[in-house]
Structure 1
Amino acid sequence: MMSSAANNPSWWRVTQTLHKWLGLIVGLQFLIWLATGLAFNLIDEQKLDADVYRMSDTSAAITTPLANPDTLIAQYQSQGFIQLKLSSVLNRPVYAISTRTQSYWFWADSLEPMRLTPEQLTQIAQASYSGSGMMNTVRAPTNPIAFTAQGPIVQIDTSDALGTRIYLDSASGRVLAHQNRQSDLKDLLFMLHFMDYVPENGINFNHALIQIISLGALLLGMSGVLTLGHKFSQGQLRLPRFKAFTSQGKIHLYSEQAELLSELTIHPGTLLHSLNQGQERLRTSCGGGGRCGLCKLRFVEHAPAPNDYDLDKLSILELESGVRLSCQHPAQSCKLALVTKTQHRFLLNSTNRQTI
């Protein structure tokens, strides 16, 4: 059977498809925003805290004699020396030298380069931790970490109930963050809420995915307006009437051999709705959405103009003979004929069941 889809304007089919896919994608993202927003409001903030066992830095005052840093400053003048900063690591003074391209750390009491061992990194992590868990071996992070560090980032896991993980900058000895299973949930909610699926993106409210969803929402609205206008022009939608509906005439349903099978009262809605009022006389699989094509019937006379769904589901021969989808046309006084033996058998079986 040759389809008449070619008669259906291609722009309309494209608009319909675009509208449905945009509705699915944008609607799903709106549900994610709703769910994560509710989660942030309903979950106690302490249940998402990453710093349950984190202690503030309480470095002791520097009492060790300091070496003269002039030689270090002179050494890095050629690299664009910016500043010299005094700090401490494990209660030992440290010079931090910043240039235009890099930072360097030296023990301030000896001017030797500071190279922290795994044992020293573990001591730094332990000093920032108030929990009772044991410290595990220093290792590289298994997942991408969006921390700013001057050297390689290392991770130390603990054995506490929250699964606390401590991240350090191995070059400076700085504790970058504490994380645990609670904060993992918080990070997941933030990632979903801000569509922040790239760790390096950071908290950015105007990245590419947000822009794409915004454009998708705009196109969804525009395609919806086009769809609404097109359906009105096709007669598929009508403004509600404020006066009571009065039934005028009957729907006469005939078999393929022009045998009168039923006279049915007209009800508000489509022809399919009136045909199935009280009992299911015409079976469909899409519920009257114009998708399955099972509700097609032939107008014995005065067939209405086909709409897009008719053009998409029916062949040219069917259209020319007056076949239309009964779910797509308003109920009216008319003569309709079944077009398949399957429809006739279903109607007879349905009538017999109703009689019994």
Structure 2
Amino acid sequence: MRLSMISARSLHRILGLIVGIQLIIWTLTGLAFNLIDDQLLDANSMRAKPGNQAQNSVRLLQPTVTLAEITNQLTSNNAEQLSLQRVELATLLERPVYRLRTSAGTLAFWGDTGEAVNLNNEQLIRLARQSYLGEARLSSPIVDKEAAQRYGGNPAFYRFDIQDEHDTQIFIDGQSGQVKGHENQGSRFKQLLFMLHFIDYFPNNGVSFNHLATQLIAFAALLLGLSGTWVLMRKLAAGDYFSWQTSKSTEKGERQLTLLSPDGEPLESLILAPGNLLDNLNHDRTRVPSQCGGGGQCGMCRVRFLEQAPQATVEEQARLKQEHLAQGIRLSCQHNCHQGNIALTSRAQLRFWQKAQSDAEQAVIPAKASS
């Protein structure tokens, strides 16, 4: 039970950091999509669109090989039965071509010879130049297996690097004769924004939004809410937010707390108000230092109860030794205001109190002089 309660607070902070960072990323990328001009992120800014002449040539070029001959050849060359999903008659480099979409991918066959399409370097360069607007220097075709997986192409998949102001890249499937896509600096930045915005941190997720990364962030957000509720319930049970019991006692008369030095010498008396003990000690000036803001994590706000020490909390059991607990030492941030005598626990705390007292007295003298 002790370990589970300790981890609840730490888990809540870690989850808050993770979910908070992702929320910031989601917000910033959403703003980027709205503020950046779409043309700056367009992958096809330098891609040529087919004109009327190319469309007419598709109608004029008729294949000399029938589709039945192509399908028979495809069946005889493949031991596994391929499921034919779609057939398209097109024109590729001024030649008729059949494109067959099968269960294994898209294959192409020349309509005038029946041979499978497997473009050579010269044909690939011609196809790349046809798809590009303007004049630019093309690199030699580069086999790109990673891009083949990304675009769903055949093993003979090529990339051309263009030396232009956009750093354009052209991707061509050498076995289907298709220009699969153009990419440039803007489109690559757009893909990065999409990845961050949709939490698409793992490769090969496809177009699904319900993948592992989103599931992990959603689960983290759920745990964040549950751990926060658990910490809140513990705070409420400790009376940190509603001190109605203290208010009832206060109605009967003012309650006072006497703060003593580590040696038991009285330092000052304080009138208690609803709230935890650390807030009462520091209500007008800082008498007892704390770095965690009262979360029970730093252990700096320890005091010694001289009468009826309250039961130690989980944070105190984790940060204080058993011998200290037996002496009545507790963390003042973990308990409600306590009437009676409470002592500081160290010389360092006493020096801190003395400095705070001296600063307070020096601040009073100029005020009296001005009045």
Q: TM-score, normalised by structure 2?
A: 0.82
SS at match of 2:159: strand
Deviation at 1:124, TM superposition (A): 0.9
CA-atom RMSD in angstroms: 3.0
Deviation at 1:202, TM superposition (A): 1.6
Match of 2:237 in 1: 233
Structure 1 residues 74 and 277, CA gap change in structure 2 (3 angstroms): closer
Match of 1:194 in 2: 198
Structure 1 residues 287 and 298, CA gap change in structure 2 (3 angstroms): same
Match of 2:368 in 1: none
Distance in 2 separating the partners of 1:289 and 1:103: 62
Gaps of 5+ in 1: 1-7
SS at match of 1:273: helix
* 1:46-73 C-alpha deviation (Å, 9 max, x unpaired): 2221111112234251545642335444
Contact 1:132/1:160 (<8 A) preserved: no
Distance in 2 separating the partners of 1:43 and 1:239: 52
Distance in 2 separating the partners of 1:73 and 1:305: 84
Q: Does 1:22 align with 2:20?
A: no
* 1:152-171 C-alpha deviation (Å, 9 max, x unpaired): 22111112211111111111
| Alignment match of 1:184 (pick from 188, 200, 204) | 188
More off after superposition, 283-292 vs 82-91 = 82-91
SS at match of 1:200: coil
Distance in 2 separating the partners of 1:95 and 1:31: 49
Distance in 1 separating the partners of 2:159 and 2:342: 76
Q: Does 1:325 align with 2:331?
A: yes
Match of 2:57 in 1: 61
Distance in 1 separating the partners of 2:280 and 2:142: 72
Distance in 1 separating the partners of 2:210 and 2:174: 33
SS at match of 1:146: helix
More off after superposition, 327-336 vs 164-173 = 327-336
Distance in 2 separating the partners of 1:141 and 1:216: 37
Structure 1 residues 65 and 304, CA gap change in structure 2 (3 angstroms): closer
Q: Does 1:95 align with 2:95?
A: no
| Alignment match of 2:172 (pick from 168, 175, 185) | 168
Match of 1:126 in 2: 129
More off after superposition, 56-65 vs 342-351 = 56-65
SS at match of 1:123: helix
How many residue pairs end up in the alignment? 348
Match of 2:153 in 1: 149
| Alignment match of 1:110 (pick from 91, 110, 113) | 113
Amino acid at match of 1:149: G
Match of 2:260 in 1: 254
SS at match of 1:349: helix
Amino acid at match of 1:61: S
Distance in 1 separating the partners of 2:359 and 2:201: 57
More off after superposition, 178-187 vs 216-225 = 216-225
Amino acid at match of 1:47: L
* 1:117-145 C-alpha deviation (Å, 9 max, x unpaired): 22221211111111443222211338555
Deviation at 1:10, TM superposition (A): 2.9
Deviation at 1:207, TM superposition (A): 1.1
Deviation at 1:208, TM superposition (A): 1.8
* 1:229-270 C-alpha deviation (Å, 9 max, x unpaired): 2222233342789x9x98923321111221111223435533
Structure 1 residues 254 and 120, CA gap change in structure 2 (3 angstroms): same
Deviation at 1:196, TM superposition (A): 1.6
Distance in 2 separating the partners of 1:305 and 1:212: 38
Amino acid at match of 1:273: D
More off after superposition, 294-303 vs 328-337 = 328-337
Q: Does 1:45 align with 2:25?
A: no
Deviation at 1:324, TM superposition (A): 1.4
Q: Does 1:343 align with 2:338?
A: no
Q: Does 1:86 align with 2:84?
A: no
Contact 2:145/2:155 (<8 A) preserved: no
Contact 1:131/1:160 (<8 A) preserved: no
Distance in 2 separating the partners of 1:221 and 1:112: 62
More off after superposition, 337-346 vs 169-178 = 337-346
Match of 2:74 in 1: 76
SS at match of 1:291: coil
Deviation at 1:300, TM superposition (A): 1.9
Q: Percent identity?
A: 36
Contact 1:250/1:265 (<8 A) preserved: yes
Structure 1 residues 239 and 174, CA gap change in structure 2 (3 angstroms): farther
Residues 186-225 of structure 1: pairs in structure 2 closer than 5 A: 186-225=190-229
Distance in 2 separating the partners of 1:125 and 1:148: 19
Report which structure shows greater RCO (CA 8 Å, sep ≥6). 1
Distance in 1 separating the partners of 2:352 and 2:346: 10
